A and B are shown apart, each in its own frame.
Chain A
Amino acid sequence: MEEREKLNRLRWRCTRRAMLEMDLLLGEFLDRLYPSLTPPQADAFVILADMEDLELWPLVNGSRESSDPVQAEVLALLRDVRVK
């Protein structure tokens, strides 16, 4: 799959989610922070984006921690996203 196709698929999965909160956060993250992630971080983000919202939400709001160190780095960035 081409880069453009991969990115568009990721965009769809970030912005057509079950909960508005997640559409907003992941959409914002994709635009602002995703381009500067390292390749392992980018892969970790794709895995996070593929999670269901009620799996992801506790990781984002900090009520659960990830045991994967790279995923934890991405989650820390995600937690700092402000949507205004």
Chain B
Amino acid sequence: MSKLTIPVRKFDAVIVGAGGSGLRAAIQLSEAGLKTAVLSKVFPTRSHTVAAQGGVSASLGNSEEDHWHWHMYDTVKGSDWLGDQDAIEYMCRKAPEVVVELEHFGMPFDRTDEGKIYQRPFGGHMSNFGEKPVRRACAAADRTGHAMLHALYQRNVRANTQFFVEWMALDLIRDDSGQVLGVIALEMETGEVVAFHSKATVFATGGAGRIFYSSTNAFINTGDGLGMAARAGIPLEDMEFWQFHPTGVAGAGVLITEGVRGEGGILRNSTNERFMERYAPNAKDLASRDVVSRAMVTEINEGRGCGPNKDFVLLDITHLDPATIMKRLPGIREISIQFAGIDPIKAPIPVVPTCHYQMGGVPTNYKGQVVADDGTPIRGFYAAGEVACASVHGANRLGTNSLLDLLVFGKASGDSVIEDVKSGTIGLKELPANFADFTLARLNRLNTQTGGANVNETRLELQRTMQKHCGVFRFKDMLIEGVAKIVEIEKAVARTEIKDKSQVWNTARVEALELDNLIEVAKATMVSAEARKESRGAHVRDDAPDTAANPNGRDDVGWHKHTLWHREGSALSYKPVIMTPLSVETIALKTRSY
């Protein structure tokens, strides 16, 4: 085996990702005195966590009585019982602590008159085991994610965390024993490829929402952590579960807040019918996200979509007083004009259910350690945030639980690293001789490819295929066909060609490398979804309907288990859902209804 050499830098810990989860982990490590590197494709405070507006959940009980156990119940139920109850208990119990810590880091939370953190209600969060809505979401105006990132970043600067900005991690380094020894990364400014050799590697790379054509996620969410893990032989868990938001602007994907329907916005099909009256006679346009999304897709599939391709429905607010629109829904008019070319005062906004959040990811335990199929930790490897599957969100995430996940598991993964370093479980092991070969071969292939596939076209094909075959409402034949199509697209991805071969700021190369990650996530999603023959949470199949034996199409006898997709052979295995919490009784399986 040839030994191709690249520069090596040594750290105690390397964290890939500088969003909420990566920055939270970094604080833990740097403050414990570990030499810590954080790599990010963008400047830390430009990470996607900024987009989160709604808030972060914690049962502080500042405005009314609340309890972590109620939060736990809501999260288990929200997950459609696919969440692991040890991890959910851990997260909900830790929530008050990590939120108060964040406050001490300088987070400017909104306040009550008495100066406590102000809390507001949010969908699915209830008091007394599902009785009535409770105020649990802590927010900093409508810029919670932004404020959170700034607070965490400042704390890291103080703790001397070393940042590598505009660096893209390409692959994990693993040795023959399976231990993770760091990552190989590309500096965009120089084109240099460098190994970050470390005792511990923490993935905090965020989600992969760009696998879908219509997505609320920023372009950066290409699932790099998932791609790297899959290529290194680590399975991906529960990738069939993606949360869709009913109202993304058709084409652009930009989110139109639920508040528009709250203010009286109505969904209409091509015959101008207010179709939600048929699907949800009481709640109508304000029914829950999944009900509205599915109704919209049914309208489109049955030929009542709008536009030349009949592929969207309309969100109508033309009947509202323009003054109300300007006052109550600021920003919506600009968004609609800029991203749909429509002034919503004069004409309805074209919308489609749009991919929003990834529930699955790299399998971890509640300590943020990445685990093998049998649950044993993979030495040297940790993950937190949207890239990870702990699994607290199971088949469906509750709003505001994701920012909480970043804080709790970012911190937990940091603590696990510290413990594993102290106990000697992990140390700076020697790199295998051929550690860089795989990555350099990938780069070389891309540099020398001729007569290959165009990156943009291939990505678009992938996104359209995912949207059409594996969207919010899933059909057996479409999924089977979808698997075949993704396998074809995978072949194109393996021979993408770039014209620009330069070293410095070669964005074409970076985009091709991102596509290498998107395809792994897309394949994991399609294959896992095709295989799961039930409906649960966000995975809804037409051929798994609501029956007495299987309410809402959920089949607990056959499918109450986690999916693990393995890149090698695109094989699936399954593992049980952890039903035993850490200290309380199991929250037993029940039909999920609100």
Residues of A contacting B186 with CB < 8 Å? none
- A25 CA to B218 CA in the complex, in Å? 12
Per the bound structure, the CA–CA distance linking A78 and B47 in Å amounts to 22
- Could you list some 13 contacts between A and B, CB below 8 A? A1-B504, A4-B505, A9-B505, A13-B42, A17-B42, A18-B50, A19-B50, A20-B218, A27-B219, A53-B146, A54-B50, A83-B252, A83-B339
State whether B219 touches A53 (Cβ < 8 A).
no
Asked whether A32 is an interface residue with its Cβ less than 8 Å from the other chain, the reply is: no
Residues of A contacting B533 in the complex (Cβ-Cβ under 8 angstroms): none
Beyond A61-B331, A83-B339, whether A20 also contacts B51 by CB under 8 A is yes
Nearest residue, chain B, Cβ from A6: B505
A20-B253 in contact (CB<8A):
yes
Interface residues of B in 6-52 (CB under 8 A from A): 41-42, 45-51
Bound Cα distance from A24 to B51, whole angstroms: 14
Q: CB-CB < 8 A to B340: which residues of A?
A: 84
Within 8 A of B (CB), among A29-70: 52-54, 61-63
A-facing residues in B542-592 (Cβ within 8 Å): none
Give CA–CA (A12, B42) in the complex, Å: 9
Query: Closest residue to B250 on the A side, CB-wise?
Result: A84
Smallest beta-carbon distance A52→chain B, Å: 6
Q: How far is the CA of A20 from the CA of B355 in the complex (A)?
A: 13
Closest 3 CB pairs of A and B: A18-B50, A8-B505, A5-B505
Give the residue name and chain of the B residue nearest to A24 (CB). B252
Given contacts A20-B215, A27-B219, 11 further A-B contacts (CB under 8 A): A4-B502, A5-B502, A16-B219, A19-B50, A19-B218, A20-B216, A22-B218, A23-B219, A63-B330, A82-B338, A84-B341
Q: Is the interface of B mostly helix, strand, loop or mixed?
A: loop
- Asked if B504 and A52 sit within 8 Å, CB to CB, the answer is no
Residue of B nearest to A84 (CB): B341
For B41, the closest partner residue in chain A by CB is A16
A15 at the interface (CB under 8 A from B): yes
Q: Is B507 an interface residue (CB 8 A)?
A: yes
Q: Find out whether the CB atom of A20 lies under 8 angstroms from the CB atom of B188.
A: no
Residues of B within 8 A of A (CB): 41-42, 45-51, 143, 146, 166, 188-189, 215-220, 251-255, 330-331, 334-335, 337-341, 500, 502, 504-507, 510
B339 touches A21 (CB 8 A): yes
Whole-angstrom distance between the Cβ of B255 and the nearest chain A Cβ: 8
Report the minimum CB–CB distance from A16 to chain B (whole Å): 5
Q: How far is the CA of A35 from the CA of B330 in the complex (A)?
A: 32
B215 to chain A, nearest CB (A): 8
CB of A80 to closest CB in B, whole Å: 9
The complex places the Cα of A19 from the Cα of B143 at a distance, in Å, of 12
Closest chain A residue to B504, Cβ basis? A5
Closest A residue to B334 using CB positions: A61
B79 shortest CB reach to chain A, Å: 26
**Smallest beta-carbon distance A25→chain B, Å:** 7
In the bound complex, what is the Cα–Cα distance between A82 and B337 (angstroms)? 7
Contact (Cβ within 8 A) A11 B46: no
Whether B339 and A17, one on each chain, are in contact in the complex, defined by CB atoms closer than 8 angstroms, is no
Contact A21 B254 (CB under 8 A): yes
Contact partner of A12 (CB less than 8 A), chosen from B49, B166, B254, B339, is B166
Closest Cβ neighbor of B47 among chain A residues:
A18
* Min C-beta distance of B225 to chain A, whole Å: 16
Smallest CB separation, B577 vs chain A (Å):
33
A72 at the interface (CB under 8 A from B): no
Q: How far is A11 from B46 in the complex, measured between Cα atoms in Å?
A: 15
Chain B residues, Cβ within 8 Å of A52:
45-46, 50, 146
Q: Is A81 part of the contact surface with B, judged by Cβ < 8 Å?
A: yes
